[in-house]
C-alpha cells in the first residue's frame, strides 16, 4: 500500500475516533437500513489511523453502496471491494440491496438526506429510473458514482454536477467477444440458445446487441431460442429446462451472466449432454469451477470487486474536491475473456480466496495521489453520441454542447492517453498470462 500522510502530532483521542469510524462503517447498514436489504455485510479491513490534519479522510464522509443482489460472487465481490475501499477512506458505509425492485431503489435515494449521506455508489436495476433517482441526489447535493445501467440519452451533464461519474464495461463488445469464442468452438455451425438478462436493463440490452453481432459474423450458427433469464439461476432454470426439452440437439448456449449460466450448466449436466458448450459473463466462482471440470467454455471477466472499489473511490474523490474533465465522467473499464481452466483457477485465486483483494485503494484516489494515481485497470472515455445507437433520441433532445464541441475528440484522445499512462500496476496480469486469447481487455 502507498503511505498515508504523516501526522506525528495526532492525538490519542483522534486515533480512537479513526478506529471507531472503521467499526461504524462495518456495522452501519443494519443500523441505518430503513429501505432495501442490507444483509450479509462485507467484512472490511481496518482503515488507517495516523492521518495528517489536511488528509481528506478525516472528514469521514458517510456513503451508501447500492446494488440489486448479493446472490452471486460478482456482487459479493462488489461488496467486498466497496467495503475495503470505504474502510481505507474512513467512510461509514450503508450497504443497500434492492433485490431488483425499482421502488426500493428510489426509496434508498430518497431517504439518503435524512441519514446524512454525502455520496452514493450504485448499480441501478433499471436504466429508465436513473434520471429520477440520480436527479433526486442532485437536488439533495449528494454525489453519485453510477455503474452499468443508465437511461439512454441521459448524461451526467444532463443531470448536474452531483452526477459525478458513470462507469461500465463495453457490454456490446464483451458479449460479442465471448460469443465469438463459443461459435468458433462450435466450428462455426450448429444450434444455439441465448438467455438474456433483464429486458430494459441497459447492460442486458447491450449484451443482446453483441450476441446479434456475433451471430451476423457466423451465419452457420442457428439461434433456435432467445428468452430472458432475469440475470439469475432461479429465473433461468425453468426457461433453460423447457428450451432444452424443445431443442435437444443444441450445441451452444450463451447466458448474459454466469449466475444464469450455472442453471444452464446444471441442466446440461443432469441430462448428460456432453457436447454442449456454455459461455457466460462475470467470471463467478461456480462458473469457473464448471470451466475447470470441462462443463463450461469461457466467461467475460470484468471484475465486480474492482468496480465496487473503484466506484467507492470515485465518490471519495468527488467529496474531496477532485474535478473530473468531461470525458472522465462517462468511462468504459476493461474486462477480458477467461477461456482456459488454468486461467479460471488463477482468477479464483486472485478474486475469490480468503486473501485481501489485490488492489491499492489509496493509489486509485486522485485526491490522495494527484501525481501518481493508478486505476489498476484499463479505462477509456465513452462517447455519448455513439453510446446509444439503438435508442432514438427523445423528441427535442440534444446532447449537451460539451459533447458536440469541435475540441471534444481531442479531449477524448487526451483522457485516453492519460488513463493509459496512469495504469501502471495490473493486478490481473497473472490471469491474463493463462488466457488462450491473450487476456486483452475488450473495448471494441
pLDDT along the chain (444 residues), means of 10: 33 32 36 41 73 96 95 93 98 96 96 98 92 98 96 97 97 97 98 94 90 98 97 96 98 97 98 97 97 98 97 98 98 98 98 95 98 98 94 95 96 98 98 96 94
What cell was used for 184? 468458433
Instruction: Report pLDDT for 37.
Output: 44
Dist CA 239 CA 234 (whole Å): 9
What cell was used for 324? 473530473
CA dihedral 272, 277, 283, 286 (to 10 degrees): 0
Residue that the C-alpha cell 465471448 belongs to? 178
Other CB atoms within 10 Å distance of the CB of residue 241: 16
Query: Bridge partners of 165?
Result: 145
What cell was used for 382? 465513452
Written as one string, the DSSP assignment of 164-210 is: EEEEE--HHHHHHHHHHHHHHHTTT-EEEEEEE--TT-HHHHHHHHH
Dist CA 40 CA 43 (whole Å): 9
Other CB atoms within 10 Å distance of the CB of residue 346: 21
Phi then psi dihedrals of residue 299, to 5 deg: -145, 145
What cell was used for 36? 432495501
CA 369 to chain centre: 23
Angle among Cα 335, 339, 343 to the nearest 5 degrees reads 85
* Contact of 285 with 60, CB cutoff 8 Å: no
Dist CA 220 CA 223 (whole Å): 10
Residues 6+ apart with CB under 8 A from 236: 195, 229, 230, 255, 259, 260, 261, 263, 264
Instruction: Report pLDDT for 49.
Output: 86
Dist CA 39 CA 221 (whole Å): 43
* Contact of 259 with 224, CB cutoff 8 Å: no
* Contact of 94 with 38, CB cutoff 8 Å: yes
Dist CA 276 CA 239 (whole Å): 17
* Contact of 377 with 334, CB cutoff 8 Å: yes
* Contact of 72 with 280, CB cutoff 8 Å: no
Q: What CATH number matches the domain at 12-169+303-431, 3.40.50.300, 3.90.550.10, 3.40.50.170, 3.40.50.2300?
A: 3.40.50.2300
What cell was used for 37? 436489504
Instruction: Report pLDDT for 167.
Output: 97
**Domain boundaries of the chain, sorted by first residue:** 12-169+303-431, 172-300
Residues 6+ apart with CB under 8 A from 61: 89, 91, 118, 119, 315, 316, 319
Stated as kind and residue range, the H or E segment containing 135 is helix 130-139
pTM given for the model = 0.88
Is 12-169+303-431's fold the same as 172-300's? yes
Q: What CATH number matches the domain at 172-300, 3.20.20.10, 3.40.50.2300, 3.30.70.370, 3.40.50.300?
A: 3.40.50.2300
Written as one string, the DSSP assignment of 229-264 is: -TTSHHHHHHHHHHHHHH-TT--EEEESSHHHHHHH
Helix (H, G, I), strand (E, B) or coil at 145: strand
Written as one string, the DSSP assignment of 77-123 is: HHHHHHHHHHHHTT--EEEEE-TT-HHHHHHHHHHGGGGT--EEEE-
Question: Positive or negative CA dihedral for 382, 385, 389, 392?
Answer: positive
Residues 6+ apart with CB under 8 A from 52: 4, 5, 6, 7, 10
**Cα radius of gyration rounded to whole Å, the chain:** 22
Amino acid at each position: 500500500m502507498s503511505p498515508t500522510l504523516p501526522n506525528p502530532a495526532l492525538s490519542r483521542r483522534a486515533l480512537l475516533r479513526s478506529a471507531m469510524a472503521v467499526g461504524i462503517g462495518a456495522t452501519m447498514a443494519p443500523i441505518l437500513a430503513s429501505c432495501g436489504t442490507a444483509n450479509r455485510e462485507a467484512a472490511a479491513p481496518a482503515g488507517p489511523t495516523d492521518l495528517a490534519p489536511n488528509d481528506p479522510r478525516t472528514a469521514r464522509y458517510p456513503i451508501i453502496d447500492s446494488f440489486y443482489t448479493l446472490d452471486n460472487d460478482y456482487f459479493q465481490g462488489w461488496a467486498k471491494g466497496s467495503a475495503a475501499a470505504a474502510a481505507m477512506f474512513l467512510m461509514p458505509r450503508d450497504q443497500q440491496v434492492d433485490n431488483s425492485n425499482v421502488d426500493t431503489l428510489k426509496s434508498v435515494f430518497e431517504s439518503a438526506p435524512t441519514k446524512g449521506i454525502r455520496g452514493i455508489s450504485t448499480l441501478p436495476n433499471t436504466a429508465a429510473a436513473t434520471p429520477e433517482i440520480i436527479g433526486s441526489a442532485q437536488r439533495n447535493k449528494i454525489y453519485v458514482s453510477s455503474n452499468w445501467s443508465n437511461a439512454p440519452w441521459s448524461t451526467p451533464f444532463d443531470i448536474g454536477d452531483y452526477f459525478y461519474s458513470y462507469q461500465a464495461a463495453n457490454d456490446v463488445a464483451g458479449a460479442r467477444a465471448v460469443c465469438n469464442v463459443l461459435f468458433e468452438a462450435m466450428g462455426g455451425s450448429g444450434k444455439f440458445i441465448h438467455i438474456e438478462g433483464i429486458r430494459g436493463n441497459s447492460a442486458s440490452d447491450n449484451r443482446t446487441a453483441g450476441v446479434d453481432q456475433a451471430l451476423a459474423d457466423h451465419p452457420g450458427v442457428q439461434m433456435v431460442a432467445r428468452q430472458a433469464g432475469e440475470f439469475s439461476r432461479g429465473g433461468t432454470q425453468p426457461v433453460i429446462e423447457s428450451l432444452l426439452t424443445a431443442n435437444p440437439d443444441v450445441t451452444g448456449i450463451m447466458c448474459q451472466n454466469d449466475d444464469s449460466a450455472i442453471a444452464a450448466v446444471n441442466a446440461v449436466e443432469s441430462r448428460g449432454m456432453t457436447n454442449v458448450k456454455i459461455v457466460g459473463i462475470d467470471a463467478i466462482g461456480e462458473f469457473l469451477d464448471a470451466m475447470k471440470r470441462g462443463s463450461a467454455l469461457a466467461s467475460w471477466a470484468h471484475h465486480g470487486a474492482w468496480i465496487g472499489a473503484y466506484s467507492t473511490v470515485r465518490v471519495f474523490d468527488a467529496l474531496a474536491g477532485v474535478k473530473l474533465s468531461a470525458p472522465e465522467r462517462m468511462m468504459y473499464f476493461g474486462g477480458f475473456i477467461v477461456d482456459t481452466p488454468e486461467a479460471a483457477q488463477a482468477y479464483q485465486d486472485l478474486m475469490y480466496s480468503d486473501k485481501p483483494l489485490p488492489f491499492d485503494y489509496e493509489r486509485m484516489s486522485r485526491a490522495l495521489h494527484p501525481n501518481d494515481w493508478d486505476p489498476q485497470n484499463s479505462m477509456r472515455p465513452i462517447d455519448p453520441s455513439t453510446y446509444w445507437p439503438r435508442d432514438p433520441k427523445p423528441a427535442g433532445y440534444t446532447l449537451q454542447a460539451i459533447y458536440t464541441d469541435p475540441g471534444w475528440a481531442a479531449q477524448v484522445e487526451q483522457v485516453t492517453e492519460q488513463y493509459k499512462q496512469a495504469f501502471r500496476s495490473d493486478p490481473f496480469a497473472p490471469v491474463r498470462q493463462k488466457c488462450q486469447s491473450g487476456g486483452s481487455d475488450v473495448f471494441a
